[in-house]
Amino acid sequence: METIRILQVDAFTDEPLTGNPAGVVPNADGLSADQMQSIAAEMAVSETAFLRSSERADRRVRYFTPSQEVDLCGHATIGSFAHLRDEGLEPGTTTLETNVGTLEIELDDDGTVWMTQDAPQVREVDVGYDRVADALGVDQAALEGASDDIPLAVSSTGLPFLIVPITYLSDLGSADPDVHAIDELAESVGATGVYLFTFDALDRESTLHGRMFAPGAGVPEDPVTGTASGATGAYLDRFGAFDDDLPDELRLEQGHYVDRPGVVRVRVDGDVRVGGRGVTVLDGSLTVPDDEADEILEA
């Protein structure tokens, strides 16, 4: 059996044990899909990134939740490149092959990682506020009151999310989601998960506060979600949420209700870019069973 190096990197933060924890396997060339899925299940964080060599880009990555492969993951990308910076990667632009295509990654001098996401796709959806309110465990009036100018819509910059505005932070914080109903709701509109947000943020410098639920992907509530943040930036731009004067940079708070606070920086200027920092909190080795072997991983 092979032993590999594996890390946990907390993304969208520079404080350990906050933000969104991601698994990172720096050298995954020899691993099969079944082995990667087993490792992700053993790590038991929302996503684990497996870095591989590529003939199309500087690197290839595959992302796995504890239950399935996903095409794109913001926080695991930020975590991966925060680790690579620790290992000596110089500031500048590099390319990353993903399941949705080749993306540009920019590393700033201060350690901020910027991820250019896929071309935005935004579409309104015909789904009742009563169904959405029941699934999220929120007051229907709080949804309808927040949606006078910005509707319910599915937005994607690599992964599709149902974007749901709500009036106040208290409404957001008191949400009591029904994971089965959210799974069915997301599936019915062709989304990976549901991103619930309010402009009533905690920090005066923040644009909004969000929560993301994706039980169908094995993530009941994600602490801080890069792909959903990029999708939300595209959504706000598409529907003119700032009277066609979108700020140069959006700051999206998330994770406070699961005790993992973090901030995602989003820039929308044709392309959608998501930025943040990361800190390594665990660096160790893991024994991987032979491919197709039904064995338990030993950490």
Please state, in angstroms and rounded to a whole number, the distance separating the CA atoms of residues 272 and 185.
26
Q: Which of 211, 196, 215 is nearest to 256 (CA)?
A: 211
Q: Count the neighbouring beta carbons within 10 Å of the beta carbon of residue 245.
A: 7
Please state, in angstroms and rounded to a whole number, the distance separating the CA atoms of residues 71 and 99.
5
> What stretches of the chain show up as alpha helix (H) in DSSP?
33-43, 74-86, 129-136, 140-146, 169-173, 179-188, 226-238
**76 backbone dihedrals φ, ψ, rounded to 5°:** -70, -30
Which residues participate in catalysis according to the annotation? 47
Q: Which of 95, 114, 115, 197 is nearest to 159 (CA)?
A: 115
